[in-house]
Amino acid sequence: VDWGRLRFTMDEGSAKAVRVAFERLYRDGLAYRTEALINWCPGCRTSVSDLETIPTPETGTLWTIRYHLIDEATDEPSPTDAIAVATTRPETILGDTAVAVHPDDERYRSVVGRRVRIPFVERDVPIVADEAVDRSFGTGAVKITPAHDQNDYDLAKRHDLPMITVLDDAAAVSAAGNGYAGLDRYVARERIVADLAARGDLLDTRPHEMLIGRCQRSNDVIEPRLKTQWFVKTKPLAEAALAATRSRETRIVPERFEAVWEHWLTNIRDWNVSRQLWWGHRIPAWYCPDGHITVSAAEAGPSACEVCGRPASELVQESDIFDTWFSSGLWPFSTLGWPDQTDDLRTYYPTSVMETGHDILFFWVARMMMLGLHLTDAAPFHTVYLSGLIRDERGVRMSKTRGNSIDPLEVMAESGADAMRFALIHGASPGQDQRFGPQKLETGRNFANKLWNATRYVLGARPQSIPADAPRRAPEVAELGLVERWIRSRTASTVEAVDRAIADYQLAEVTRALYDGIWSEFCDWGLEMAKARLADTSLPDDAREATWWTLVESLDVFVRLLHPVMPHVTEALWTALPHAADDPELVIVARWPSPAGRDGLVESSVGEALELVRGIRNARADAGIAPGDWLPATVLAPEDLAPAVSDLGAIIQRLARVRPVQVVAAADEASGSARSAGLAVVTGRLEAIVEPPTQALAAGDRERLEKELATTEQRLAGARARLANAAFTQRAPAAVVDGARATEAELAAQAATLRDRLGRT
RNA sequence: GGGCGGCUAGCUCAGCUGGUUAGAGCACUUGCUUGACAUGCAAGAGGUCACUGGUUCGAGUCCAGUGUCGCCCACCA
């Protein structure tokens, strides 16, 4: 980590960016100050954004109350004519300025336009018709409190209704609430319900399931209120953000989040950016005694009111601060020195991939996109990679209050930073939550250990003929035997798999490819085969050297590939490995490997030999032959495979615990005599005849062959059925049909051999 | 009320644009002081791919619907 680039959103660099950004938005008409309905948290005594208001299910109460209609003749409430409305917040009666019904509602058609008297405040308000009213809910008539409800506010705007604020900063009833003034909202609620009942105007009381907006920070019940606040006009910004994703200038991974993105940005409301808190960037707006606004990005503030010219000394700065996401939204460029055209900005902006949890797609990513596009004319990144959330072992979302979150520092102390990193990446599918617990750390720890030991072995197996300080060299293909070429080819295949997975942002797949390539292939087979080569004293020095350099070369590749996942072990191993002259001192800056040395023919012929080794091991285990017993064996190979298998003789011996292996062309006369000698192992196109110790034997072995034959014939029947289907041979692609034919031929040959060994025809 | 995701081995999860016998880790069974590693090695057992129907020569994979768990968005007072 380059600690020289440490940044904090409260730095002066960031503070300057915030001021300049705000001034730009203000001059462009995208930042404005107005009185509007905002979410008010009475606990924090500040406004909060829509996103910070968490809808929480609760069982409340739905009260049905009666408002008396005004008798036109007397201008007084009629004792009998009334309209019933349903509400979950009776205390807001005090701020009612209308009752609304649906225009097509027959029940209320006659009363639209008449007035009702609001009790306690004794205010006469009109009955209006509006399509937003749901006829089927409650009584079909709704009381309108524009100053304390978003729906009512919108409706009031359409009907030009007055707005009366009846709750103060502490959510207590304000002076407008007459006799209830000063009471907490919930105390007032109880009183009002009781008083309505006493008047005979409470018609019904029933429990009601509903969603209550609560403050993300304090959990207090959010109260919508009218307040004068700063807003950012989001429509044009959101449109630009949408255009960027639609044109693929910015891509969201996984793609399905683009639908969510579209929906949110299409329906976005203006962003309330002012907060009545102390900790944060103060809004750089100044007010003069005449109410003029001056916005200035200058560190010292404006010198005079930009409208009337009053001197700075008579101006008062806004005491509100910005929503923290405002400064965070500038992060991609504020950290690089913006608004100055710094070298960093030119070099690193726009950046490439933004990685973050899908839970802050709106909070942060959307704001970075909107502000970035407007202020820098460029999307801040070309890709947004959304990770899932980390849950605990039982799948519960981690949180501090629940106490189930884990401290990464503790995990690292116990299992190591690399194990933790491996576990996290191993479980990372784009946008998909993952469970995390101690068990998952073991895999990474063991894997690190495996690579460590493999390297230890290789370093210790250096042929005497190579000086300890010899620079790393990549052996020429011509120097290599089958084993070495196989190792190179499989290593290249791992590079390809990792490259592919990275290009697709399939991080779990990256670790899987590495785990497989390093453990299941290189360690399990490559190293074991190489041991036979290194131990073979009949080989010339340079052949053994080539083997060793091949191993070193693969380790070198693996260390580079694995470095992003397990930086610490790989850095340590890098130090221990021999290096070429142009290798840097640290892997972190080393060149990324490119796949080289892929060889399909080598992979398949060695693969067949390894398959035979597996078959022999399998047969030995079934026959209950002690692992330590070395058995004589003959391998029967088709002509094209015979040279390769001969070449691998010593390896087959060692891995399958047989001795000495003699390879006979399957068509030869000699194969006949070998056949009578013992256990037949048939894998693919190869066969091994192993001579068991006399006591182990026959019945069990026959059973094994019968089983083999049964599965082979079952597969063969399947393959034939497919090929017999004219629709398949005609419609399937030629390559698939050819593959099926080859499979059929191989299975047929294998079945024939097995039948022969069982003495059948 | 809209939208999205999960449902594959006992557990946790991979399976990309449909194509031989559906994989891994952990757990489980059997054996192993195999000259790197018991944090290991070898061999094994374990799956009607939630359900129903459809498209196709062929479906875990595509389409429609159902169930179930979970998430996001939303102005039913």
**Chain A 319..348 CB hits on strand B (< 7 A):** none
Q: Tell me which residue has tokens 């938005």.
A: A25
Higher pLDDT, A550 or A754: A550
Least confident of A18-22, A300-304, A430-434, A663-667: A663-667
Q: Tell me which residue has tokens 């609304």.
A: A100
Is A743 within 7 A of strand B by CB distance? yes
From the CA of A573 to the C1' of B40: give the distance in Å: 20
pLDDT at A675: 65
Q: Which residue is nearest to nucleotide B69 (CA to C1')?
A: A395
pLDDT at A517: 94
Of A165, A289, A158, A283, the residue nearest A232 (C-alpha): A283
Nearest nucleotide, CA A89 to C1': B77
pLDDT at A621: 85
Asked whether A717 and A711 are in contact (CB, 8 A), the reply is: no
pLDDT digits (tens, 9 = 90+) for A172-183: 999 988 899 999
Q: Tell me which residue has tokens 């202020």.
A: A375
Res. A672 pLDDT band, cuts 50 70 90:
low
Least confident of A173-187, A264-278, A664-678: A664-678
Per-residue pLDDT, averaged over A34-59, amounts to: 91
pLDDT digits (tens, 9 = 90+) for A306-322: 999 999 999 999 999 99
A551 contacts: CB under 8 Å, gap ≥ 6: A458, A461, A487, A526, A527, A530
Q: Bridge-partner residues for A225, per DSSP?
A: A38
Centre a 10 Å sphere on the Cβ of residue A564 and count the other Cβ atoms it contains. Answer: 18
3 state DSSP class of A709: helix
Asked whether A661 and A635 are in contact (CB, 8 A), the reply is: yes
pLDDT for A132 beyond 80? yes
Q: Is the pTM of this model over 0.90?
A: no
- Burial per residue of A731-761, b for 16 or more beta-carbon CB atoms within 10 angstroms, e otherwise: eeeeeebeebeebbebbebbbebbeebeeee
**Chain A 477..536 CB hits on strand B (< 7 A):** 500, 504, 506, 508-509, 512, 515, 519-520, 523-524, 527-528, 531
Helix (H) or strand (E) holding A531, with range, is: helix A528-535
pLDDT at A711: 85
Q: Would you state the structure tokens that stand for residue A131, as one six-digit string?
A: 């399509």
Asked whether A101 and A129 are in contact (CB, 8 A), the reply is: yes
pLDDT digits (tens, 9 = 90+) for A385-403: 998 888 887 778 787 777 7
pLDDT for A566 beyond 90? yes
pLDDT digits (tens, 9 = 90+) for A207-227: 988 889 999 888 899 999 999
Per-residue pLDDT, averaged over A43-52, amounts to: 91
**Chain A 151..180 CB hits on strand B (< 7 A):** 151, 154
Rounded mean pLDDT of chain A? 90
Of A609, A607, A602, A661, the residue nearest A631 (C-alpha): A661
- Burial per residue of A46-59, b for 16 or more beta-carbon CB atoms within 10 angstroms, e otherwise: bbbbbbbbeeeeee
Task: Give the separation between CA A688 and CA A661, rounded to whole angstroms.
Answer: 9
pLDDT for A377 beyond 70? yes
pLDDT for A188 beyond 90? yes
CA A212, A215, A217: angle at the middle one, nearest 5? 150
pLDDT digits (tens, 9 = 90+) for A680-717: 888 888 988 888 765 545 556 777 788 888 888 888 88
pLDDT at A136: 86
**Chain A 525..554 CB hits on strand B (< 7 A):** 527-528, 531
pLDDT at A696: 47
From the CA of A338 to the C1' of B31: give the distance in Å: 67
Nearest nucleotide, CA A458 to C1': B36
Is A376 within 7 A of strand B by CB distance? no
Q: Bridge-partner residues for A682, per DSSP?
A: A687
Is A435 within 7 A of strand B by CB distance? yes
From the CA of A235 to the C1' of B2: give the distance in Å: 22
Pairing mode, strands A390-391 and A434-435: parallel
Cβ neighbourhood burial of A682 (10 Å; 0-12, 13-18, 19+): buried
- Burial per residue of A667-677, b for 16 or more beta-carbon CB atoms within 10 angstroms, e otherwise: eeeebeebbee
Task: Give the separation between CA A62 and CA A468, rounded to whole angstroms.
Answer: 85
Q: Bridge-partner residues for A592, per DSSP?
A: none
Which bases of strand B sit closer than 7 A to a protein CB? 3-6, 12-16, 19-21, 24-26, 30-32, 34-37, 39-44, 56-58, 71-77
Per-residue pLDDT, averaged over A41-46, amounts to: 93
Per-residue pLDDT, averaged over A444-471, amounts to: 94
Give percent of chain A above pLDDT 90: 63
ipTM of the complex: 0.93
The residue count of chain A comes to 761
Is A251 within 7 A of strand B by CB distance? no
Reported as half-sphere exposure (CB side, CA atoms, 13 A), residue A559 has a value of: 28
pLDDT for A289 beyond 60? yes
